[in-house]
């Protein structure tokens, strides 16, 4: 496996691959790999001849009050994990190459970015779409694989690809969970032992919501949200950012529960760690 750090070298290699008729897959990450990331790499390996995993902790998507400086990173650890999954290139560009001093451009997707995480993290999605657009241009993939845990992010990326005519297939891959049900996240490493039970409240709330819908599909979204909110707030360490039930395509609130309804959650643990999760409510 090669480790590449410059956009020019990355582009040159992919152009060579494409000249050989090879299909290129990209898995964009911020590193500190866990089983969720590794599952994305395996998916890319299934559908592409060459797999590039990008590793870049993107400062543009962090607010000044967020955890950029403390975000976990260990390049050598991640290199070994990616290599074990058969990744062809670990692309780890330097911040100065991604955002040189004269950098003046950003990519903005309207509408889909205004609520949910966009409401509590102003500017976050401009940072996401800008860096992903740059990664697409630097790695020139045929397909890109993203995790479905970042539900809003996946919808925003798909919109950007459609609107800007990127010739890239976007593949969403299912959430990978701990045995306890907790959605895997690099931020789980921040959790102290006495915070783990509170963190599990998200998965517990999802399971209960699915159970209630299984018993009575005529329950209203507000009734489900009230139950979910009660479960999460029964843990004193939890503060709710949002609890919503949305249509999976439009991200608009659902008037009734259907197979297209997705429960989306964002919760802060002791105001330190922000966790997100989501699930459909019908058919699980």
Instruction: Please pick, among 37, 124, 142, 173, the residue that the annotation labels catalytic.
Output: 37
Is the separation of the CB atoms in 90 and 2 below 8 Å? yes
**37 catalytically annotated:** yes
Q: What tokens were used for 133?
A: 């657009």
Phi/psi of residue 48, nearest 5 degrees: -130, 155
Cα–Cα distance list, 224 to 89, 204, 216, 230, 242 (Å): 44, 13, 11, 10, 14
Is the separation of the CB atoms in 143 and 173 below 8 Å? no
Q: What tokens were used for 199?
A: 């963190």
Q: How many CB atoms lie within 10 A of CB 274?
A: 19
Q: Annotated active-site positions, please?
A: 37
């Amino acid at each position: 496996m090669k480790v590449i750090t410059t956009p020019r070298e990355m582009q040159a290699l992919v152009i060579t691959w494409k000249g050989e008729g090879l299909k290129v897959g990209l898995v964009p990450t911020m590193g500190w790999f866990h089983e969720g990331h590794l599952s994305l790499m395996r998916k890319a390996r299934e559908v592409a001849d060459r797999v590039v995993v990008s590793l870049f902790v993107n400062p543009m998507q962090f607010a000044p009050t967020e955890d950029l400086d403390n975000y976990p990173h260990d390049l050598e650890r991640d290199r070994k994990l990616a290599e074990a999954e058969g990744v062809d290139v670990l692309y780890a560009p330097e911040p100065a190459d991604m955002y040189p001093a004269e950098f003046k451009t950003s990519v903005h997707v309207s509408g889909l970015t205004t609520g949910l995480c966009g409401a509590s993290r102003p500017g976050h999605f401009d940072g996401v779409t800008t860096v992903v657009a740059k990664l697409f241009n630097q790695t020139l993939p045929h397909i890109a694989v993203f995790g479905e845990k970042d539900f809003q992010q996946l919808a925003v990326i798909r919109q950007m690809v459609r609107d800007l005519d990127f010739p890239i297939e976007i593949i969403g891959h299912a959430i990978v969970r701990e045995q306890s049900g907790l959605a895997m996240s690099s931020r789980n490493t921040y959790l102290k032992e006495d915070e783990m039970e509170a963190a599990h409240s998200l998965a517990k709330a999802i399971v209960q919501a699915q159970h209630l819908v299984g018993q009575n599909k005529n329950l209203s979204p507000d009734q489900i949200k009230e139950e979910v909110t009660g479960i999460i707030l029964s843990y004193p360490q939890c503060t709710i950012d949002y609890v919503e039930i949305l249509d999976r395509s439009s991200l608009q609130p659902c008037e009734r529960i259907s197979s297209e309804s997705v429960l989306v959650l964002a919760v802060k643990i002791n105001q330190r760690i922000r966790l997100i999760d989501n699930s459909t409510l019908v058919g699980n």
